[in-house]
A = this chain, B = another copy of it.
Amino acid sequence: MEYQEAKEKFISTWGSLGSLWGINKAMAQIQSLLFISTKPLSMEEIMEELKISRGNTSMNLRQLMDWGIVTKELIPGKRKEFFTTEKDVQELARHIAKERSRREIKPVIKILKDVSSIKDDGTAKTKELIKQTKALHDLAETADTMMNRIVSQDQNWLTKSLLKFIK
């Protein structure tokens, strides 16, 4: 496999995997492209490489910046804006985990808590609802806490923890 083929394969695979970490295809592809680029890229270059429109590029770059995994880079003497992504996979994983927790998991935990706190009227179905949502709440909370511990640690704590876990 040659460079060009490998590059395309990587971008399309990582792009279609976007759903796994909760972002859309274009967003994931832009991030992929920056991830393997040796230098910051301009909007023009991104549009050209991925064959997507200016509007699409602009919107998705913004979202990536909101996620905290892409940053604007101003190159002295140039008018255009350039973009780079976090290059360290662990740092990347941390950002993503943190954002997903904040955007999706925390709000759901809140609702599970509310639902599992309704008044027990003594009927079997109410008891079941309370019991099951409480179990889900506890599991979600434990997993979320774990994730947040991981993301708040120093550089190599993630790998160390995972390895410890495996052994």
- In angstroms, Cα B88 to Cα A138, docked, is 12
Contact B36 A128 (CB under 8 A): yes
Q: Which segment of A50-58, A72-80, A113-121 sits at the interface?
A: A113-121
Chain B residue numbers with a CB within 8 Å of A126 are 3
Interface of A is mostly: helix
- In angstroms, Cα B38 to Cα A126, docked, is 9
A 6-33 to B, binary, CB cutoff 8 A, 1 in contact else 0 = 1101100110010110100000000000
Asked whether any CB of chain B lies closer than 8 Å to the CB of A108, the reply is: yes
Contact B1 A118 (CB under 8 A): yes
Known: A89-B135, A118-B3, A118-B6. A19 touches B20 (CB 8 A): no
Residue among A1, A2, A136 facing the most chain B CB atoms (10 A cut-off): A136
Sampled A-B contacts (26; CB under 8 Å): A1-B115, A1-B118, A3-B125, A3-B129, A6-B118, A7-B129, A9-B115, A10-B111, A10-B115, A10-B129, A13-B115, A17-B104, A17-B108, A20-B105, A20-B108, A36-B128, A36-B132, A36-B133, A38-B125, A38-B128, A87-B132, A93-B139, A142-B163, A142-B166, A146-B166, A149-B166
Chain B residue numbers with a CB within 8 Å of A156 are none
